[in-house]
């Protein structure tokens, strides 16, 4: 789907055609041949559009003739909903700058672009293309920070549940968070390299404009902060999962130890019962009137004897 937008009287409006638009936003669902037609109309390479739909593309920029293509990764909620998949994934946002328009394209509906379309970003005007690109960078970093806070809060809640009972479902949730953080670390790293390269080459021609340069510097700092937070949360989560794996393993060892003690205690009475279950003529106490209760008593005494021979302090844990 292609929407043509422009800001009129301080309000973002959707237009019917390309003539008065300053921002073109492309998002799914896509009709057959729609991207090819748009690329021909705007005289931009089709690769700029198709590459933006590939979730495996890395952050980068390209220049061809009068067009500048910037691709940056952005976090979105994973719609698959599988217990084994990450909670958040990252997808590319393609930004194409031409002489008359700015075009954005994404393979999924993206909260970052939705904010601009709903006019929720302060001082946003798509006619100012350089500021628009910087604001996309800024809102994208804010989106990363927002998702990181949600993941950290979810991690804390799961840890509290694990303190009470170590279940596999909580560990699976922690694994989903860890996968999300891996996506974040990778995307924030490539985004940071992209922004540093844009700054170094002055791709947006804002080096001599102090407000733009200061904003870009703040965005790079915020991106570094988000990357550091992702690394910290990843390390904490890895340590937490290792600790809980050790706790579960230790609990399993304790249970096996208790079962082993019970097995050894029951072994001696079972041997006595087994001997007297043999159909033999010469067995001790066979002729006694109270042979059965006597043998039972002997078996119990032998069992308690084994109990005290095996470390008594550990056996008390059974009770």
Residues 116-132: tens digit of each pLDDT? 988 888 888 888 999 99
Residues 261 and 238 in one domain: no
Residues 186 and 86 in one domain: yes
Last residue within a domain, chosen from 249, 271, 286:
249
The stretch 68-91 carries a mean pLDDT of 88
Residues 69 and 122 in one domain: yes
Residue 273 sits in a domain whose CATH number is 1.20.58
Euclidean distance between the first and the last CA atom of the chain, given in angstroms as a whole number: 68
Residues 201 and 169 in one domain: yes
Residues 154 and 103 in one domain: yes
pLDDT at 195: 94
Res 13 pLDDT > 90: no
Mean pLDDT value across the chain: 86
Residue 129 sits in a domain whose CATH number is 3.30.460.20
Confidence of residue 318 (pLDDT cuts 50, 70, 90): very low
Residues 70 and 195 in one domain: yes
Res 66 pLDDT > 60: yes
Which pairs from 296-301 meet CB under 8 Å and 24+ separation? 298/272, 299/268, 299/269, 299/272, 299/273, 300/269
The stretch 197-225 carries a mean pLDDT of 91
Residues 265 and 164 in one domain: no
Last residue within a domain, chosen from 249, 272, 291:
249
- C-alpha span between 178 and 184 (Å, rounded): 10
Residues 112 and 256 in one domain: no
Res 316 pLDDT > 60: no
Least confident of 80-84, 142-146, 182-186: 80-84
Confidence of residue 167 (pLDDT cuts 50, 70, 90): low
Number of independent structural domains in the chain: 2
Least confident of 95-104, 210-219, 257-266, 305-314: 305-314
The pTM assigned to this predicted structure is: 0.80
Residues 134 and 189 in one domain: yes
Residues 182 and 60 in one domain: yes
| CA 37 remoteness from chain centre | 37
Residues 68 and 135 in one domain: yes
Burial class (CB in 10 A: 0-12, 13-18, 19+), 67: middle
Confidence of residue 317 (pLDDT cuts 50, 70, 90): very low
Least confident of 117-131, 171-185, 234-248: 234-248
Q: Are 103 and 24 in contact (CB under 8 A)?
A: yes
Burial class (CB in 10 A: 0-12, 13-18, 19+), 93: buried
Of 266, 276, 260, nearest in space to 300 by CA? 266
pLDDT at 164: 65
- Orientation of helix 210-276 relative to helix 291-309, angle to 10°: 140
Q: In what order do the strands lie in the sheet with 67-77?
A: 11-15, 2-8, 23-26, 102-106, 88-97, 67-77, 60-64
Looking only at the bridges linking them, the beta strands covering 2-8 and 23-26 are antiparallel
Last residue within a domain, chosen from 249, 267, 292:
249
Res 28 pLDDT > 70: yes
Domain enclosing residue 116, as ranges: 2-249
- C-alpha span between 161 and 165 (Å, rounded): 6
Residues 254 and 210 in one domain: no
CA-to-CA separations, 161 to 153, 167, 171, 172, 250, in angstroms, rounded: 13, 9, 10, 13, 18
Strand, coil or helix: what is 124? Answer: coil
Strand partners, 93: 72, 106
% of residues, the chain, pLDDT over 70: 92
Of 236, 217, 92, nearest in space to 159 by CA? 236
């Amino acid at each position: 789907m292609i929407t043509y937008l422009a800001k009129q009287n301080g309000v973002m409006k959707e237009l019917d055609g390309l003539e008065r638009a300053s921002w073109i936003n492309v998002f799914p669902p896509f009709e057959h041949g729609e991207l090819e037609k748009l690329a021909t109309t705007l005289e931009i390479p089709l690769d700029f559009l198709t590459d933006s739909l590939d979730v495996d593309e890395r952050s980068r920029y390209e220049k061809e003739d009068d067009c500048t293509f910037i691709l940056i990764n952005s976090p979105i909620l994973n719609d698959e909903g599988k217990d084994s998949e990450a909670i958040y994934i990252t997808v590319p946002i393609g930004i194409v700058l031409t002489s008359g328009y700015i075009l954005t394209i994404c393979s999924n509906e993206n909260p970052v672009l939705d904010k601009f379309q709903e006019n929720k970003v302060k001082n946003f005007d798509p006619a100012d293309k350089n500021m628009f690109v910087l604001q996309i960078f800024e809102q994208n970093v804010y989106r990363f920070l927002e998702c990181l806070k949600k993941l950290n809060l979810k991690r804390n809640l799961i840890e509290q549940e694990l303190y009470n009972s170590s279940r596999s479902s909580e560990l699976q949730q922690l694994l989903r968070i860890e996968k999300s953080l891996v996506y974040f670390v990778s995307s924030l790293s490539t985004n940071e390299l992209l922004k540093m390269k844009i700054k170094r080459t002055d791709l947006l021609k804002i080096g001599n404009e102090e407000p733009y340069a200061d904003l870009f510097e703040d965005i790079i700092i915020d991106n570094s902060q988000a990357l550091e937070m992702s690394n910290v949360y990843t390390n904490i989560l890895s340590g937490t999962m290792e600790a809980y794996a050790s706790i579960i393993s230790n609990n399993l060892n304790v249970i096996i130890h208790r079962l082993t003690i019970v097995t050894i205690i029951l072994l001696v009475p079972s041997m006595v019962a087994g001997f007297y279950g043999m159909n033999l003529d010469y067995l001790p106490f066979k002729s006694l009137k109270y042979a059965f209760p006597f043998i039972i008593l002997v078996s119990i005494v032998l069992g308690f004897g084994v109990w005290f021979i095996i470390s008594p302090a550990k056996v008390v844990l059974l009770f």
